[in-house]
C-alpha cells in the first residue's frame, strides 16, 4: 500500500429534519451568511423558505442561479458579494454545482486577482471562507471533499481544483431533500457516483481496504439507484445513495492508491464544449473506456470487478469474466434510461481532436491506470457515437 | 436508515517514515510534550530513540509503563504531570491501551476531582489536551476514535468512555512499527478488529452502506491476518490490518445503526476480573454469542453474513447457511492459534453471576441486537468453558 494522508473532518448531519441544526452550525462563524443556490428548485420545494425561516436571526445575502457546470462568472459574482458585504460564512444549498461554485467563491473572497487564477493554481489559495452545505442531489460528493470543477466558456475549459481549506465544515444530508430530483438526474447522479469509485478502483497499486470499500459502495448504488429512479420518495433508497455519494469521493476509496483519473477528464471536455449533464457523459464513456483498456495487464482486475461487484461466477476464461462485468455495467446504466451514445446528446465528431488533446494535457491522462494519448481518447469518443 | 452525526477529523499519516512529520504535527500545540508509552517495547525496537531524536527541539516529559487494560492509577499519574508541568500536547506511542489511557489523561489534566468521575460521566469532560498518536498495534482503533476503556481494579470495573474532545488530532500509522508484534498479539488484535465490526454489523436497523463497508473490512482481516501472523514483516499484510483497525471503529461502520454492543461488555468483565488479553476474550466469546442468539429473527442476517463475508454458497436451509458462517468464524479464529476456551486462559465459573450482572448493567445489554439478561450472559460464558 502506498503512503497516504487522509483528513476529512466535515461534520455530517444525516437524516430527516437535520436542517434544524443550521443555526447552531453557522453561529460560530458569524452573522453574515451568503446563501448560494442553483436554478430555483429549492424555491419550488419549499426548502428555501424553510432555511430562511430557520436563519431569521442571521443577515442573509444571496447568490442564486448558479448553473449546472458552474461558470467562472458566478464565482466572480459571489466573491464580489463576500468582499463588499464582509460575509462570514457561505451556506451552499444544492448539488455539486452550487457547492463547487461556493468553494471557488470562498477562496476568491480573499483573492485580489482574477479568480480563474485559483482554479488554474489551487495551491495559491491561502485562506477561504468557511462553507456549510445542505445537499439536494446525490452525485458529486462535493459536500464532503475539498475539490470542485469550474467551467470557463470563453476559454472552453472545465477544470478541477482542490485545496484542504475548501473542505466544508458541515453538511446537512437529508434524503428527503432529494425526493423531487427527477428520474433522469437521479440516474445521471448515480452514474457520477459509480464513476468516482471506478476512477480509483482501477489503479495499478493494490490496496484491499479501499477496494473492498469501493466494491461495497458500488453494490449499494446498483441495489438502490433503480429504486430511487422508480420511486422518487423511497427514503431508504435516497438515503443509501446520498451517503454513498459522499463516501465515494472523500478520499477513503483512494487511500494508498494514486492514479490519475480517466473518464472524468474525457467527460469534462464533452460538457465544456456541449454543456451536457456530467453524469450522462460519464455513463456514455465508462463502458467504452473499460472495453478500450481491457488487455492482458488489466484483465485480472476487471475479472475481480466482475466477481466482487456484479457477483458474476468465474468463467473458464479471465477475459470472458472481465467482459461479463463490463457488459453488466453497460446494461445497468442503460436500465436507468440514460442516453448511451454521444449522438443522442447532440455531439458530433467535429471537436474530437481538440477535446482529446485538452483532456490529455489538463487531465494528466498519461498518468492514468492505462495511460491514454490523444488518439486513444479520440478512439474512445468514436466508440461512444 | 436512522439519522446520524459523523465527524472524524483525525489527520492520518499512513506509511513508511511518517514519524518524520511529528515535529510539524506537534508544533502548533506548543513545546511541552507528554510522551506516553507502555511496557517498553518501543525502547527495544528503537522507536523511542527515533522519536526522541526527531523531537529534540521539544521539552519532553514521560509516562511509561502504561499497562495492557490500562488502570486508573496511570491516569492519575499522567494527569499530575500535565498539571505540574503545564503540558501542551500528549504524544501517545503504542497500542490501544496507551492511547486510551492518554485520552483519559488529556481530560483529567483539566479536572480537579477524581479522574474516575470522568470515566463514569464522560459528558462531564469540558476540555482536554490535544493528543497525537504513533500506533504500534493494530487492534482497538483508538487512534481514530474518541473513546477508550479504563480499568479500576479496586472496584473491579472496566468501563468504556468517550467524548468528541478526545479524538486524536493526528495519528501516524506506519505499518513497520507493528513488525515486532508477536503472532499471539497480532491474532488477538485481529479478533478485536473483527469484533468491532461485528458488534455494529449485527443490528436490527438495516443500512446498506455501513454493512457493505463492514463486509469489505472483515474480508480484509480474513485475508491478511493469517499472513501477518505467519510473516510478521509482511508490509502489505501489516498495512491492510492497520488501516482496517482504524476504520473498523471510527463510526463509519455504524452510521445509521444504533444497537448497544454485545461481546465487548461481556469481555470487559473477563479482563476486569482476570486481566486476560481483550482480543482473546472476544475471540472466545464471539462464535458462542453468535450461536446463542441465532434464531428465526436473526437467521436472515446471519445468512447474509455467511454469504457476503465468507463467500458461503446459499444452502437449502437459511439456518444451515447461517451456521456455516458461524462455523467459518470459529474455524478462522482457531486457525490464528488463539486459545478458544475460558478454561485455557485460567477462568473458572466462580464469578460468572456477578460478571454477568455487571455486563448487563454497565454494558446496556438489554439494548443489544438480541437483548441479553444476566442469565443469558452466564449461559454464554458457560458455552465458552
Domain ranges of chain A: 11-177, 181-384
Helix A278-293 with A263-274: angle, nearest 10 deg = 140
Distance from CA of B14 to the nearest CA of A (A): 5
pTM of the model: 0.96
pLDDT tens digit sequence for B317-348: 999 999 999 999 999 999 999 999 999 999 99
Percent of residues, chain A, with pLDDT higher than 70: 100
Tell me the shortest Cα–Cα distance from B140 to chain A, in angstroms: 17
Classify B259 as helix, strand or coil.
coil
| Residues of chain A neighbouring B6 (CB-CB closer than 8 A) | 11-12, 14
Residues near A271 by beta carbon (within 8 Å), at least 6 away in sequence:
A69, A151, A158, A277, A278, A281
pLDDT in tens, B143-195: 999 999 999 989 888 888 999 999 999 999 999 999 999 999 999 999 999 99
Return the residue of A nearest to B12 by Cα: A6
Q: Tell me the per-residue pLDDT of A286-336, one tens digit each, with 9 for 90 and over.
A: 999 999 999 999 999 999 999 999 999 989 899 999 999 999 999 999 999
- pLDDT score for A285: 98
Residues in chain B: 385
Query: Which H helix or E strand runs over A7?
Result: strand A4-14
Q: Which of A104-113, A146-155, A216-225 has the lowest mean pLDDT?
A: A146-155
- Those residues whose C-beta lies under 8 Å from the C-beta of residue B374, and which sit 6 or more positions away, are B353, B356, B357, B359, B360
What ipTM was reported for this prediction? 0.95
Q: What is the pLDDT of residues A35-68, one digit of tens each?
A: 999 988 999 999 999 999 999 999 999 999 999 8
* Residue B366: pLDDT over 90: yes
Amino acid B158: pLDDT: 83
Mean pLDDT of B245-266: 94
Q: Which residues of A touch B211 (CB under 8 A)?
A: 216
Q: Smallest Cβ distance to B5: which of A11, A211, A256?
A: A11
Question: With bands split at pLDDT 50, 70 and 90, how would you rate the model's confidence at A258?
Answer: confident
Residues of A in contact with B173 (CB under 8 A): none
- Could you report the per-residue pLDDT of B77-110, keeping only the tens digit for each? 999 999 999 999 999 999 999 999 999 999 999 9
Give residue B343's pLDDT: 97
The whole-angstrom distance between B261's CA and the closest CA on chain A is 22
Q: Which residues contact B114 (CB under 8 A, 6 or more apart)?
A: none
pLDDT in tens, A8-35: 999 999 999 999 999 999 999 999 999 9
CATH number of B11-177: 3.40.50.1970
Query: Mean pLDDT, to the nearest integer, of B114-141?
Result: 97
DSSP readout, A320-383?
A: HHHHHHHHHHHHHHHHTT---STGGGT--STTHHHHHHHHHHHHTGGGBSS---HHHHHHHHHH
DSSP H or E segment with residue B77: helix B72-85
Q: Is B63 exposed, middle or buried (0-12, 13-18, 19+ CB in 10 A)?
A: buried
Confidence class for position A272, pLDDT limits 50, 70, 90: confident
Nearest-neighbour CA in chain A from B19: distance (Å): 12
Tell me the average pLDDT of chain A. 96
Mean pLDDT of B261-286: 94
Q: Is the dihedral of CA B205, B210, B216, B218 positive or negative?
A: negative
Element (H, E) at A153: none
Mean pLDDT of the B48-61 span: 97
pLDDT at B159: 87
Residues of B with CB under 8 A from a CB of A: 1-18, 175, 206-209, 211-213, 215-217, 219-220, 223-224, 235-236, 239-240, 243-244, 247, 252, 255-256
Domain B181-384 has CATH 1.20.1090.10: yes
For the segment A190-211, what is each residue's pLDDT rounded down to a tens digit? 999 999 999 999 999 989 999 9
Average pLDDT score over residue span A213-226: 98
Amino acid at each position: 500500500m502506498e503512503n497516504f494522508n487522509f483528513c476529512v473532518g466535515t461534520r455530517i448531519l444525516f437524516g430527516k429534519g437535520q436542517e434544524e441544526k443550521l443555526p447552531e452550525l453557522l453561529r460560530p462563524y458569524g452573522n453574515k451568511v451568503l446563501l448560494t443556490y442553483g436554478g430555483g428548485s429549492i424555491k419550488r420545494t419549499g426548502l428555501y423558505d424553510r432555511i430562511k425561516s430557520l436563519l431569521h436571526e442571521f443577515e442573509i445575502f444571496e447568490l442564486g442561479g448558479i448553473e449546472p457546470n458552474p461558470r467562472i462568472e458566478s464565482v466572480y459574482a459571489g466573491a464580489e458579494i463576500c468582499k463588499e458585504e464582509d460575509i462570514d460564512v457561505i451556506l451552499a444549498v444544492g448539488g455539486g454545482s452550487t457547492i463547487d461554485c461556493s468553494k471557488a467563491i470562498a477562496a476568491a473572497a480573499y483573492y485580489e486577482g482574477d479568480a480563474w487564477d485559483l482554479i488554474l493554481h489551487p495551491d495559491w489559495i491561502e485562506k477561504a471562507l468557511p462553507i456549510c452545505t445542505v445537499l439536494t442531489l446525490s452525485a458529486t460528493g462535493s459536500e464532503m471533499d475539498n475539490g470542485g470543477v469550474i467551467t470557463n466558456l470563453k476559454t472552453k475549459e472545465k477544470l478541477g481544483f482542490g485545496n484542504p481549506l475548501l473542505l466544508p465544515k458541515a453538511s446537512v444530508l437529508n434524503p428527503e431533500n432529494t425526493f423531487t430530483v427527477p428520474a433522469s438526474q437521479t440516474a445521471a447522479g448515480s452514474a457520477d457516483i459509480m464513476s468516482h469509485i471506478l476512477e480509483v478502483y482501477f489503479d495499478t497499486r493494490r490496496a484491499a481496504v479501499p477496494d473492498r470499500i469501493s466494491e461495497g459502495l458500488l453494490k449499494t448504488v446498483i441495489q438502490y439507484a433503480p429504486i430511487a429512479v422508480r420511486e422518487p420518495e423511497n427514503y431508504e433508497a435516497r438515503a443509501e445513495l446520498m451517503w454513498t455519494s459522499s463516501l465515494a469521493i472523500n478520499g477513503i476509496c483512494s487511500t494508498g492508491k494514486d492514479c490519475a483519473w480517466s473518464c472524468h477528464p474525457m467527460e469534462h471536455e464533452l460538457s465544456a464544449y456541449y454543456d451536457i449533464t456530467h453524469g450522462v457523459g460519464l455513463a456514455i464513456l465508462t463502458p467504452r473506456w473499460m472495453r478500450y483498456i481491457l488487455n492482458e495487464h488489466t484483465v485480472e482486475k476487471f475479472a475481480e470487478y466482475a466477481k466482487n461487484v456484479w457477483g458474476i461466477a468465474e468463467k473458464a476464461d479471465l477475459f470472458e469474466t472481465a467482459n461479463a462485468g463490463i457488459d453488466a455495467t453497460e446494461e445497468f446504466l442503460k436500465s436507468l434510461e440514460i442516453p448511451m451514445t454521444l449522438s443522442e446528446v447532440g455531439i458530433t465528431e467535429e471537436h474530437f481532436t481538440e477535446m482529446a488533446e485538452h483532456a490529455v494535457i489538463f487531465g494528466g491522462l498519461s498518468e492514468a491506470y492505462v495511460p491514454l494519448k490523444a488518439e486513444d481518447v479520440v478512439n474512445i469518443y468514436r466508440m461512444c457515437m
